[in-house]
Structure 1
């Protein structure tokens, strides 16, 4: 039976320990915050409704202050719940980041020096530091935002029952198009591979930069500045070329996504003209105002989904790179502890060969010191 693939969040929870409950609390609080954030829009709808009912005798309004106070109260409560959710997610994120770095460094200390030299200290440093930083950003910010981006549409769909369902469906059409564009052009396997190539180019440049700086004393001694800079410059040029090509390839999808995500209100105006023409009722105006106001949440939600998706791909790539280090077998250590009788050293039957060579540098060496 094929083993079920673990989600990104499940992999990170392994490093969280008891702090994983902070993540669960953050998700619950973020959900509550998302639903509370919708209440003020309903209060605004009630304010506009009362104003339309009493016009032109606006002094006859009696509930506007109550509705306004109710809207402010729920807006503040939504903000407080979101802040507490972020506090919980940050607490878990910092623990995960620290645990990951500790475990990786403990493992690296047991690896052969040849592995560290072959990979380059700059590359290993980047994986240890920046990969764990990517997980911190994902857990601290993107997890609560992903929960909100899922809860908000559910709340909006429930609210559509009380208003004009036609306008509700029209407002969802640009959002759905933007959502499809995001997952087909800006995410998926191709985007994941592009993210991998980006990190590869960044690692190479980082590694070459570290090695170049470390070799500056030798470079100056022998006057080989131009030749020593060649590999570093090639890494920079390769990174520049890849970044520009990637940015140009994403230009059109990003423009289309942003256009549809921010043009929901325009679809509502067109729909209003087609549905009622010159015969506009107070109820229709009321519902139209509500949907125009609520579209800002849809736009923000789509943007949060886009950034959270990008961050998740970065975390998945970071975890894969960490696994490449963690899967390397450390040098074997003897479990048998003996107390030496004197200061002598015996070496028996030692052989060694460099990587990718058939000739042994040391062949069955025996020595007594």
Structure 2
């Protein structure tokens, strides 16, 4: 809920309020837990007051100690108050833990649920390591804040208020002496935590996310690093992230916090050092020396509370800064664009695809990835997108299943703008195989069945056979029931690509998008993938599917019904293979380069010594 700041501007709610919103009805337990923690701290002052009564009575009858008959009852009161303080604190923590667990769980669920509805293109620009750090790590940090830091903060506030009251309850002069180290410590904390401290926490959390992201990428690239016998320095981004984090933490700790932190710890640990000189100066002028001695004994003992109170305040400030940054990062994920279903979804009349003056620019890019691109793919035909790297082929393919929404123009399926279709209907109509494939740590059967969970085992086996996967199944120890990644059950890039084709065949969608489907294939795998393409292009009922194919290997597109040549985001040529060769344009030059590369061989020169 937003509030009016008084000057007409709208002020965002406090991070704690935004955080507690995730706890739902259990936020009341947080308030109750904080109240119990505050009450625990106030009750915890009781034993100190009992000590003062004991000291007062003993000093009053000294040396006739036996006349101090109430000392025993004070002791029992002190014990009871101490036990009561512990019980209240324990009950408070139970309440705040229940609320914290609900808040962290709701935060994770809402973030993951939101990501499930986010456009798939979002994950191309946000690494999985960084998202995991935000969704899981930030929820974990806020859990600690609500479960421990927040009730401790309430207790600390109650402790400071009660401490200030007690400072002036018995002798305001001695109380003022105890207050001096508190003021100095608070000034040091404001120096460390305010201004630059807030900026540090933001950069600190950003550095953690960056290190987590690059660390995940490095772990995935370890096989390459080991093959070439390189060190962590070979993965410069990971090394630089570690160096940045180290430098950031060291600079803040040494250059900014060392002196004020040392001063703060010194003065609060030596609070009695401020008390003794004042007591020495005041003692000669006291008329009731016994009472003054009792007061001094109380303040000397009570000064031991000061380090505990100030340490809690310091950790409270750090926790609030961390929580504010964590909730901001989670809210950033929750603000990611989602694919919204239109109020009145339209149903395509067929499976034809049409690009009408489509332009698209990635966020932060200076130049458009696609610029006024127009072409048509009739229902049941196969159209290939080719062109130099960076020409916009993959971008164009990703606009059909609506991984991104166009910046201008329209992408039509069956005469309907994809933005006017129900996203679930669009996903049901499109099967896609991209060069970056993901196999789960499940059996091969379940990996393929992910395309259509209700498919029978026989249907999965038929899809695997159509995708030319028989040799893969035969070499696995448990056949189709082999768990991928277990006991050395790994596949080559080309073999994984064939499994992706089996998924697409099993889904039996009327539109197929292929992006560099032979990118990781050796000649043997490529031949089998090409055979699988032929099967994929036909549905179970024998009708031809609409196929949009992106390829660098021109041999895979010769038989396409139409070839679109993209260069620097523009469609510069269209036609069949023969028509484009006859035109003598960019495609003809690419084909000549391809034929030259295919015929290229390494030859030895006799007698050259090479």
CA shift at 1:107, angstroms?
Answer: 1.3
Report what 1:203 is aligned to.
209
Aligned partner of residue 272 in structure 1, secondary structure: helix
Aligned partner of residue 235 in structure 2, secondary structure: helix
**1:144-155 map, 5 Å:** 144-155=151-162
For residues 184-233 of structure 1, the C-alpha deviation after alignment (integer angstroms, 9 at most, x for no partner) is: x2211210100111112221111111011112345556x37457422211
Distance 1:28 1:189 in 2: 30
Change (3 A) 1:224 1:331: farther
Distance 2:65 2:330 in 1: 65
The 4+ residue runs of structure 1 with deviation greater than 4 A are 218-221, 277-280, 334-341, 350-354
Q: Which moved more, 1:13-22 or 1:242-251?
A: 242-251
Tell me if 1:360 matches 2:370. Answer: yes
More strand by percentage: 2
More helix by percentage: 1
Tell me if 1:100 matches 2:100. Answer: no
Distance 2:371 2:348 in 1: 29
CA shift at 1:97, angstroms?
Answer: 0.5
Equivalent pair of 2:16/2:324 in contact (CA under 8 Å): no
Tell me if 1:327 matches 2:335. Answer: yes
Distance 1:96 1:352 in 2: 42
Tell me if 1:189 matches 2:171. Answer: no
Report what 1:49 is aligned to.
56
Report what 2:143 is aligned to.
136
The correspondence for 1:284, drawn from 287, 292, 298, is: 292
TM-score by length of 2: 0.57
Distance 1:159 1:244 in 2: 40
The correspondence for 1:314, drawn from 309, 322, 336, is: 322
Report what 2:508 is aligned to.
none
Equivalent pair of 1:205/1:236 in contact (CA under 8 Å): yes
Distance 1:313 1:202 in 2: 15
Change (3 A) 1:225 1:162: closer
The correspondence for 2:38, drawn from 22, 25, 31, is: 31
Aligned partner of residue 170 in structure 2, secondary structure: coil
Unaligned runs of 5+ in 2: 1-7, 380-545, 547-610
CA shift at 1:338, angstroms?
Answer: 7.0
Report what 1:176 is aligned to.
183
Distance 1:316 1:13 in 2: 12
Q: Which moved more, 1:121-130 or 1:151-160?
A: 151-160
Distance 1:283 1:253 in 2: 37
Distance 2:197 2:125 in 1: 29
- More contact order relative to length (CA 8 Å, sep ≥ 6): 1
Aligned partner of residue 112 in structure 1, secondary structure: coil
TM-score by length of 1: 0.92
Equivalent pair of 1:122/1:207 in contact (CA under 8 Å): yes
Aligned partner of residue 260 in structure 1, secondary structure: helix
Aligned partner of residue 13 in structure 2, secondary structure: coil
Unaligned runs of 5+ in 1: none
Aligned residues: 365
Change (3 A) 1:243 1:57: same
Equivalent pair of 2:359/2:369 in contact (CA under 8 Å): no
Change (3 A) 1:161 1:241: closer
CA shift at 1:353, angstroms?
Answer: 4.3
Instruction: Tell me which structure has the larger Cα radius of gyration.
Output: 2
